[in-house]
Structure 1
């Protein structure tokens, strides 16, 4: 007897779906890391600019330089706010894909568990058939000697 799992095609489909979701999840992680890195660099730039401005204020600045620096800081703040929104979107996308991945993983595990139980049942059936065959052979030998 050859073992054939009745849901083998479904299991294969579910594994493929899980792998597709895993690829998408890894892409969202990469996107999140890129956006977060960009935000980090902008925040670092803002911090450096504030420190630079403090140093320049102690040395003395013209009104024009102060206005220029403030305008640059305002623009930087707008860019930072925009990037923060993108980081939030990327995090949400990553969390959504993670949830989908967990669901697909659970589905695959269910089918694998069913397959495992089905295979154990198959082995038990083979063992029963072998035992019946052995009993039959024993009875025939006993009857042929008797």
Structure 2
């Protein structure tokens, strides 16, 4: 008699769902990291440009060049605001996917726990059945020896 878990198909479906949720979560983490890196690069670029402009102001700078730098910094700030929003959205999406993955993981753990308990009950029943069979064999052997 071989052990067969009655919820094996459900467990395999739940494991597949968990794997899919994990893959989606990993993709959302990568999107978040990409957006955060781009935001960091833009902030660094702005900081470097402001430092360059400050160093140039010490030596003197044409008004037209100052306007050009200010316009560029203004455009850069708009881009930074846009990427900040992208990072916020990517973070919230990543957190949502993490929650979904954790829920799927908990479901799989529940079915694995059920399977573990069911298997131990099955093993106990097999052990008791074998014990009874051994007792029956011993009684028959004793009865046959007595005759």
Query: Could you tell me the TM-score, scaled by structure 2's length?
Result: 0.98
Q: Find the aligned partners of 2:51 and 2:58 in 1 and give their Cα distance.
A: 11
Q: Find the aligned partners of 2:73 and 2:103 in 1 and give their Cα distance.
A: 45
Q: Find the aligned partners of 1:32 and 1:145 in 2 and give their Cα distance.
A: 80
Q: Find the aligned partners of 1:55 and 1:39 in 2 and give their Cα distance.
A: 24
What root-mean-square deviation, in Å, do the aligned CA atoms of Structure 1 and Structure 2 show?
0.6
Q: Find the aligned partners of 1:27 and 1:121 in 2 and give their Cα distance.
A: 41
Q: Find the aligned partners of 1:87 and 1:15 in 2 and give their Cα distance.
A: 30
| TM superposition outliers: structure 1 runs of 4+ over 3 Å | none
Residues 55-104 of structure 1: CA deviation (Å, up to 9, x unaligned)? 11111111111111111110000000000000000001110111011100
Q: Find the aligned partners of 1:77 and 1:20 in 2 and give their Cα distance.
A: 38
1:142 equivalent to 2:142? Answer: yes
Gaps of 5+ in 1: none
1:123 equivalent to 2:114? Answer: no
Q: Provide the residue aligned with 1:111 in structure 2.
A: 111
Q: Provide the residue aligned with 2:69 in structure 1.
A: 69
1:10 equivalent to 2:10? Answer: yes
Gaps of 5+ in 2: none
Query: Could you tell me the TM-score, scaled by structure 1's length?
Result: 0.98
- Matched residue pairs, number? 146
How much does 1:38 deviate?
0.3
